[in-house]
Amino acid sequence: MTGSGTFEPVRFNGWPELKEAFLSQHLQASFILAPMAMALREQGVPIKIVYLGHRDGTTMMVHKDSDIHRIEDLRGKKVAVPNRFSNQRLIIFRAFKERGLNIDDVTLLEMPPPDMPAALHVRAVDAIISGEPFMAQSEMDGYGRVLFLTKDVWPEFISCVLAVHEDVIRDHRAEVQQLVDGIARSGKWLDTTMDHRMQAAKFTGQNYYNQDPKLLEFVLSKPPDRVKYTNLAVRRKDFEEIELVGRESGTLQGTAHFEDYADPSFVTDESAIQPYLWEDTP
Amino acid sequence: MSLQRRVLLAAIGWLGTVTLLHLWLNTSAFEKRTVSTGQTGKQFRVGFLPVT
């Protein structure tokens, strides 16, 4: 993208590289996996979660010819997850627990999300789970089948959060507020009409994600609530639930709590957020 | 200048060069660590993965 805005989006393909860039303060802020941000705080890294990236938007895919038709069928299988500190790992733990299974009943492999569709295609793994649009890519290409959407297993699922270094919040609060406001207003704009989602698929695919806009159109419309961009304020009960599952699964130690890793002060009244009035010009 | 002295100076020079290159290429040691105030251009970097 060209332009002279305050913010520079920096794209990564894997979570470990992004985490290192964030820790080194090369990035002032980052969208990062929620449990990863919480774990960093447990390790003493001075960051705060100030907003969410989206809700839901994660899918578990299996091969279309697979004999896996229920979550219980994953027993003994190999599943690719984005990271040990991902909510995608936690949702498997949670879903297994509800069904009387153990996380040890499945082999979890950490894999960068962009590599997952190919791994499923060649059946190097039995299932893949990540944020979209990588899961939908296997569906559009004809070899992937949806096992579940997170909205059906863990409603209002949180995958990515916006985390900011504490010194940046202290010294540049106005910029952080501007960033949060922009995400919040963009989210409301996205969820106003399906036409807005299609416009976003076009310019995001071309200018930020370098992905086929048709893939993003698919993700943003089939079904429309596959991923949501409203209700993104940081809420205590959501994170306490992640804390609980994180502790039970051994992902988190439970030494950092909501007051430690979250700063919900940037959006206190979501109903006051006004969507952008922007419209794409043909 | 003796051979021993030349070798020693070359070794010190090499070590210094490699150290500076390492700091420049592998760390942010020479980067300006400021956040934009909105007037100096894009310096507020926000990381992301291309996921929804």
Q: Give average pLDDT by consecutive 10-residue segment, chain A, 282 residues.
A: 71 92 96 96 97 94 97 97 95 96 95 95 97 93 96 92 97 96 93 92 83 91 91 95 96 96 94 82 60
pLDDT above 50 for B36: no
pLDDT above 90 for B37: no
Going by pLDDT thresholds of 50, 70 and 90, the confidence category of residue B25 is confident
The verdict on a CB contact (< 8 Å) between A10 and B46 is yes
The verdict on a CB contact (< 8 Å) between B50 and A22 is no
ipTM at complex level: 0.88
Residues of chain B neighbouring A86 (CB-CB closer than 8 A): none
Residues of chain A neighbouring B28 (CB-CB closer than 8 A): 24-26
Outline where chain A has alpha helix (H): 15-23, 34-42, 87-98, 116-121, 134-140, 150-153, 166-171, 173-190, 194-204, 213-221, 236-249, 258-261
Is the CB of residue A33 less than 8 Å from the CB of residue A159?
A: yes
pLDDT above 90 for B1: no
A1 min Cα distance to partner chain B (Å): 12
pLDDT above 90 for B24: no
* Residue ranges of A 97-126 with Cβ closer than 8 A to chain B: 113-114
Question: Within a 13 Å sphere around the CA of A95, how many CA atoms are in the beta-carbon half?
Answer: 25
A50's enclosing H/E stretch is strand A47-52
Cα–Cα distance between B33 and A27 in angstroms, integer?
10
B37 min Cα distance to partner chain A (Å): 7
Q: What is the pLDDT of residue A206?
A: 82
In chain B, which residue's Cα lies nearest the Cα of A27? Answer: B45
Helix then strand then coil, % of chain B, to nearest 5: 45, 10, 45
Which residue did the predictor score with more confidence, B32 or A238?
A238
The verdict on a CB contact (< 8 Å) between B48 and A210 is no
The verdict on a CB contact (< 8 Å) between A28 and B44 is yes
Is the CB of residue A59 less than 8 Å from the CB of residue A149?
A: yes
Q: What is the pLDDT of residue B40?
A: 47
Domain A15-54+159-169+235-271 of CATH type 3.40.30.10:
no
Domain edges within chain A: 15-54+159-169+235-271, 57-153
The verdict on a CB contact (< 8 Å) between B42 and A5 is yes
Peptide bond into A133 cis (omega under 30): yes
B14 min Cα distance to partner chain A (Å): 27
* Cα–Cα–Cα angle for A201, A204, A207, rounded to 5 degrees: 140
Is the CB of residue A105 less than 8 Å from the CB of residue A271?
A: no
The verdict on a CB contact (< 8 Å) between A57 and B41 is no
The CATH H-level (homologous superfamily) assignment of domain A57-153 is: Periplasmic binding protein-like II (3.40.190.10)
Cα–Cα distance between A142 and A164 in angstroms, integer?
39
Residue written as tokens 């970097």?
B45
**Cα-based distances in Å from A207 to A2, A9, A204, A226:** 9, 11, 5, 22
